[in-house]
Amino acid sequence: MRILMQNRPDAYERPGGDTIQMDRTIRALREAGHDVDLSLEAEPDLSGVASAPASSGKASRDSGIYDFVYLFNLTTPAWTVRQARNALRHGVPYVLSSVYWDLESAVPWQAYEFPRNIARALLPRFAIRVIKALRGGGGKGEQALQREILAGARCVFPNSTAERDHLLTRFSTIPRDKFVVVLNGVDPPAMQAKGSGGYFLCAGAIGPRKNQLNLVRAFHRLDRERLLIVGNAAHGCERYMKAVFRAAPPNVEFRSAVPHAEMTVLLADAKALVQPSYIETPGLSAMEAAAMGVPIVVSNVPPVYAYFGDLGFYCDPGDSDSIVDACRAAGMAGHRDGRAFADQYDWKRVLAPMVKAVEATVRSG
């Protein structure tokens, strides 16, 4: 098969979990014997294909045609809908990895923590999203664009049964049999946990969804423990990051985002990973920590529990006391062997249903 993979235009400028998942999906499809090209453009020419490197973001041409287009991201509908329409206009079917959760319903307004700035923080964000949706979607709002993308897809791949059920609730007209759950995976870890650093680690973009503000408040009570927060401000969350800096006690240290190899070392040396996010689907850093045998403090939200089960130390992200209790329990737990988790969520294993589904999609015409 000849496949075109597409994602948001800044997938490599602002890499996230979807970027890693996309790269691993490309690898899995190529290992299964399929030709995969990548374009981050909105409306590439679908008349031909080339074997471009996954990080190029450009599709060059050849005399063939694509069997189907593989889209990523329902969270950028103004861009994704153009890619979807472009595929259908050329008579090419598409599938979708949704990577979706309605963040505005998941993150309470109190998480922004600046009462006099909430309107300034939220309304411009909402206005920008509406303008982008209307401009890119021919006058439709964001949810209407998302519904159009889902309706046109041959197959939709949520990352958990919780994400699938969330999509079915929010978009009730989409048939249930269109969804095939494809789990997130993890690469075999380069090392197992050592814990020699003796610190708690929080990794990821700093912003309301990741909930670092409640986390640093919790560490006022954990004054004998060290917390290392590694990451840059999420897009548009510079004000939030400054509030986190102001609220942090002396036992909290901050570092800018680091390369993956360095993050692996930081994880191995950590006493525990702490990710008290309001929603995760789940976070890939938590999966890497679990695969290394590092204790994980995570939020008690459905997508997270489905992955980690009894391995996690769960907290209520809105309750700093709950975060304190979970951190104390994780800190006393010690490290374990993470190889069973790594094997269970090996990328090749978890992506096998996706490969079968896309092959069946093409066979069915």
Cα–Cα–Cα angle for 166, 299, 130, rounded to 5 degrees: 45
Output helix, strand, coil percentages for the chain, rounded to the nearest 5.
45, 15, 40
Query: What is the structure's pLDDT at 365?
Result: 65
Query: What is the structure's pLDDT at 37?
Result: 94
Q: In this structure, what token pair is assigned to residue 189? A: 């870890």
Query: What is the structure's pLDDT at 131?
Result: 44
CATH 3.40.50.2000 fits 2-185+346-363, yes or no: yes
Query: What is the structure's pLDDT at 219?
Result: 98
Q: Give the predicted TM-score (pTM) of the model.
A: 0.84
Query: What is the structure's pLDDT at 292?
Result: 96
CB-side neighbour CA atoms (13 Å) of 316? 6
Q: Which bin fits 87, alpha (ψ -120 to 50), beta or left (φ > 0)? A: alpha
Please name the amino acid found at residue 111. Answer: A
Query: What is the structure's pLDDT at 130?
Result: 45
Query: What is the structure's pLDDT at 49?
Result: 43
Query: What is the structure's pLDDT at 53?
Result: 46
> Which sign does the torsion angle of CA 338, 22, 91, 59 carry?
negative
- Tell me if 201 sits within 8 A of 272, measured CB to CB: yes
Query: What is the structure's pLDDT at 163?
Result: 94
Query: What is the structure's pLDDT at 235?
Result: 81
Instruction: Parse the chain into domains and list their residue ranges.
Output: 2-185+346-363, 200-344
Q: How far apart are CA 148 and CA 140, in angstroms?
A: 10
Same fold, 2-185+346-363 and 200-344: yes
Q: What is the pLDDT along the chain (365 residues), one digit of tens a residue?
A: 899 999 999 998 888 888 999 999 999 999 999 999 999 999 998 875 444 444 445 544 444 589 999 999 998 899 999 999 999 999 999 999 999 988 776 666 556 655 444 444 444 444 444 444 444 555 568 999 999 999 999 999 999 999 999 999 999 999 999 999 999 999 998 888 888 889 999 999 999 999 999 999 999 999 999 999 999 998 889 999 999 999 999 999 999 999 989 999 999 999 999 999 998 878 889 999 999 999 999 999 888 988 999 999 999 999 999 999 999 999 999 899 999 999 999 999 999 999 999 888 878 76
Q: How far apart are CA 357 and CA 137, in angstroms?
A: 28
Under CATH, which number does the domain 200-344 receive?
3.40.50.2000
- Closest listed residue to residue 333, CA positions, set 282, 272, 246, 286: 272
